[in-house]
Chain A
Amino acid sequence: MAAVGTVPARENAGKGAISIRNVTKIYDPEGVNVLAVDDCSLEIAAGEVCMIVGPSGCGKTTLLSAIAGFHSITFGEIYLDGELLCGPGKPLADQGADRVVVFQNGALFPWMSLADNVAYGPTVQGRLNKTQAREKALDMLAEAGLADVGDKFPGEVSSGMARRAEIVRALINDPKVLLLDEPYRAMDALTKSIMHEALLEMYDRTKVTIFFITHDLEESIFLGDRVVVMTTRPCRTKKIVEVNIPRPRDYHILSSEEFRLLVDEANEAVHEEAIKAFEAGERELA
């Protein structure tokens, strides 16, 4: 019996170091080679919140898909805690519950209640039986401030609640890495700020490694330990902004001088790439 208030020990705490080495991805739709990621290298420490920003269509999601095992890579290798995920001879990583993805548009199963959604992972993995999984799901939902909505369908709750539940659904699997693909994209600023604080609170509790793709620079500085600015396609790391704002953070830092300077620094790099991407887009259309 875990005493109230104590954090249950995470089996995978302190794990989840990702090493991306010289990864190249060439898409080949109908014989036309498209270089999506070009010789991209990135080291992410265990327990780090790594924010990936870059222009639309630059190949950030391709990188995430390679880590998750949705897409193969053409060259290079990706390691998770020193173990090869994908590389030469094994272009596609195995999908596994140690790297759970939270999708851009939300992927809670609409036909299951929030509790069933959260309990899905442990039940299909056979780690917990149905009753245990449900109990744990309700506990974890309550921790995330979703105590009373466990039996509602995703369509019955607000998008913010649904998104929070989706992160809980990922966390219940005790992942080494949480892969977030612009999870708060379509949210209004107010909801977003609440989501940010909830995510930070969750991170402070679990210290799970987070790979977070976004377009929103303020979001990236507010949440991240490092902000990796990507070049426009083909995707390479252009600049890494270290965010040394101490945790736990709250929204007060948004108005601090330090925060503004970091945003400016990242903005400069992103803006350059955005212009390049925009012009490249125009050329493609012309």
Chain B
Amino acid sequence: MSTDVLNLNLRVWRQAGPNATGGFKTYRLNGVSTHMSFLEMLDVLNEQLIAQSEEPVEFDHDCREGICGMCSLMINGQAHGPDNATTTCQLHMRRFKDGDTITIEPWRAAAFPVVRDLVVDRSAFDRIIQAGGFVSINTGNAPDGNAIPVPGVKQEVAMDGAACIGCGACVAACKNASAMLFVSAKVSQLAILPQGHPERNTRVINMVAQMDKEGFGSCTNTSECEAACPAEVSVAHIARLNREYLRASIFAEA
């Protein structure tokens, strides 16, 4: 059973508050089961820190099954760790070797200020969604699901965009801290579906404006976001956003 246990060095970013100066602190954590998830490993670290009367490491998490988008973490320079198409909570310690040093950092972006330790404020994403990432239904009952026909292929492409969980890994991985993959996933999803059509022009203009206002970078088509995305959102959505933006800028009535 000894092979199922890891002794690790954890190099963790510690920062007492938004305006405090942060820095790395290294902790030794022994006896980590390879069956643990990465977040469970951090739980164990925090138990150890609390036992030593130290402040536990703050990190974001919620569902721990890869759908809520709350967990984050830059693990050894990879958003959500080394695996493709997974979130940090889905990463298991069997992915690491005994004696490894693991560097854990928060997402780094001007638009995602550090709240404490590994927790960043991602409400910039909420404000972008509030700027246009919705379909207005102002009155009446919910319409019948089958009243508006949507071809199967379109449903699939829209769903590929809707798969975005809003975790911010795209921003974290992008060398420009650009939010284009996130914004494009929502713009694209709603532009494809008939329900999104009435507001498609104002949506793209307003969401891009809010994205810029929040201070995200611009897209250099490096595709680092696509590689880092736990929901496998494709940069084809970014191309669709660009089309929507051009279309709306030139032809929109208002």
Chain A bound to chain B: no
List the interface of chain A (C-beta within 8 A of B).
none
